[in-house]
């Protein structure tokens, strides 16, 4: 498997490549500039010396002429010294270095020109060698060696600075990676910001990871809540159905059988409502696609009448006061479970007195005269009922609060979001 490099190693590698490229480019440009300057200088100097040689050769039969201080002129190719081999690609009036096979270790330039000497066209060759320029060129390269050393020193300092910056930027990520590697798959607690995290990106990364953690944790809690709610809330209708099935075999009375049939239908409907509601709490739904509906008084009366059986042997009355209208996106089964659980909790807390279902605009309150929050009844049903209520309110963006009344009992209030 290919080894993955660390951020430090990548930084060092990339910086080294860039530094080498900069140095190589600098010296190639310097060498090219020196050659261009030398070529331009030689061309201008040889053109001047060519004109001088033409003037001095006119009226003579000389085939060789020294043009001080750096040039020599030859008439005709045959007059060139032995060992001088011209560049085969040379053209007229342009300076060219001698061919590498020439018998000289000097950097000699040559130029060929077609001129008129004594009324005859002649080829005039100039050889040019500037010792002072060659010495100056060597000195310039020595100067560049000093600059190279300074450049390397500067690049080394720059590399140290870059590595320090890289360490400061990558250390928090390394610490975060180590921290995540040591966490177990079941650890969904908040991820701590690593030490030395100074960049916005690291802060944002930790925030996003924690947001994902929260989403996963929420999904797990939904699953656990579903199992917990289902195991408890479905137990009651199942027991009713089991009891009805037992009773059906003990009597042939039509009235008795009808009552048992109604009990079984009610238990089945209650079970269906719970299953529909609990499953909906585990699903992610697009609430914007759910239409609003109004809650009518007869729906509230049906919910109330379906729960009056919890008041057996209690002197408690349940009344409905409707002074406004509720518009909600809650499906019918979910709304029934919401109100029914609040009613059951109120009935469990109230031994005598009154329970009021108060309806105003987009708000439903269930007010009882029972024991209040400090005297909550024992039993699992009380807590689970409120947990389902809170889960429903969370999903459908409703506000839920439960407070003690000034006199006796408490008030559970659900505020529904306004229709858009």
C-alpha of 211 from chain center: 13
- Mean pLDDT score of the chain, rounded to an integer? 81
DSSP 31: H
Share of the chain above pLDDT 90, in %: 17
Q: 3-state class of 76 per DSSP?
A: coil
Q: Which residues contact 190 (CB under 8 A, 6 or more apart)?
A: 210, 213
**pLDDT tens string 114-147:** 999 888 899 999 988 877 666 666 666 666 677 7
The owner of tokens 């990871």 is 209
**pLDDT tens string 180-191:** 878 877 777 777
Q: Is 316 within 8 Å of 351 (Cβ atoms)?
A: yes
Of the pLDDT bands very low, low, confident and very high (cuts 50, 70, 90), residue 382 is: very low
The domain limits of the chain are 1-182, 183-223, 234-283, 289-415
Burial 355-380 (b: 16+ CB within 10 A, else e): bbbbbeebebbbbbbbbbeeebeeee
Considering the four listed CATH numbers 3.40.50.300, 3.30.565.10, 3.40.250.10, 3.40.1190.20, the one that applies to the domain covering 289-415 is 3.30.565.10
Q: Which residues contact 304 (CB under 8 A, 6 or more apart)?
A: 318, 320, 343, 357
């Amino acid at each position: 498997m290919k080894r993955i490099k660390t951020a430090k190693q990548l930084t060092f590698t990339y910086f080294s490549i860039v530094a080498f490229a900069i140095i190589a480019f600098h010296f190639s440009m310097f060498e090219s500039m020196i050659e261009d300057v030398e070529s331009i200088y030689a061309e201008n100097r040889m053109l001047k010396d060519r004109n001088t040689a033409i003037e001095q050769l006119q009226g003579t039969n000389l085939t060789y002429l020294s043009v001080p201080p750096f040039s020599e002129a030859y008439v005709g190719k045959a007059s060139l010294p032995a060992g001088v081999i011209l560049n085969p690609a040379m053209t007229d009036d342009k300076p060219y270095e001698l061919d590498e096979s020439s018998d000289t270790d000097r950097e000699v330039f040559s130029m060929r020109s077609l001129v008129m000497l004594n009324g005859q066209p002649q080829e005039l060759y100039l050889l040019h060698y500037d010792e002072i320029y060659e010495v100056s060129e060597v000195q310039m390269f020595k100067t560049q060696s000093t600059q190279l050393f300074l450049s390397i020193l500067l690049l080394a300092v720059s590399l140290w600075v870059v590595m320090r910056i890289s360490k400061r930027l990558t250390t928090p990520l390394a610490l975060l990676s180590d921290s995540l590697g040591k966490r177990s798959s079941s650890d969904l607690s908040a991820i701590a910001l690593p030490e030395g995290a100074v960049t916005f990106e690291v802060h944002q990364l930790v925030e996003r990871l924690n947001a994902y953690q929260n989403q996963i944790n929420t999904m797990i809690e939904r699953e656990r809540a579903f199992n917990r709610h289902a195991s408890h809330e479905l137990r009651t209708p199942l027991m009713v159905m089991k009891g009805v099935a037992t009773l059906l075999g003990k009597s042939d009375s039509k009235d008795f059988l009808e009552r048992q049939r109604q009990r079984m239908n009610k238990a089945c409907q209650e079970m269906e409502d719970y299953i529909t509601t609990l499953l909906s709490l585990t699903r992610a739904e697009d609430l914007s696609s759910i239409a609003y509906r109004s809650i009518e008084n007869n729906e509230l009366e049906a919910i109330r009448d379906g729960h009056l059986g919890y008041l057996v042997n209690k002197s408690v009355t349940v009344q409905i006061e409707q002074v406004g209208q509720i518009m909600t996106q809650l499906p019918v089964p979910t709304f029934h479970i919401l109100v029914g659980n609040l009613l059951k909790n109120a009935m469990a807390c109230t031994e005598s007195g009154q329970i009021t279902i108060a309806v105003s605009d987009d708000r439903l309150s269930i007010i009882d005269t029972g024991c209040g929050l400090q005297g909550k009844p024992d039993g699992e049903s009380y807590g689970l009922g409120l947990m389902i209520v809170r889960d429903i309110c969370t999903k459908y963006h409703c506000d839920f609060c439960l407070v003690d009344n000034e006199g006796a009992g408490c008030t559970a209030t659900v505020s529904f979001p306004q229709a858009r």
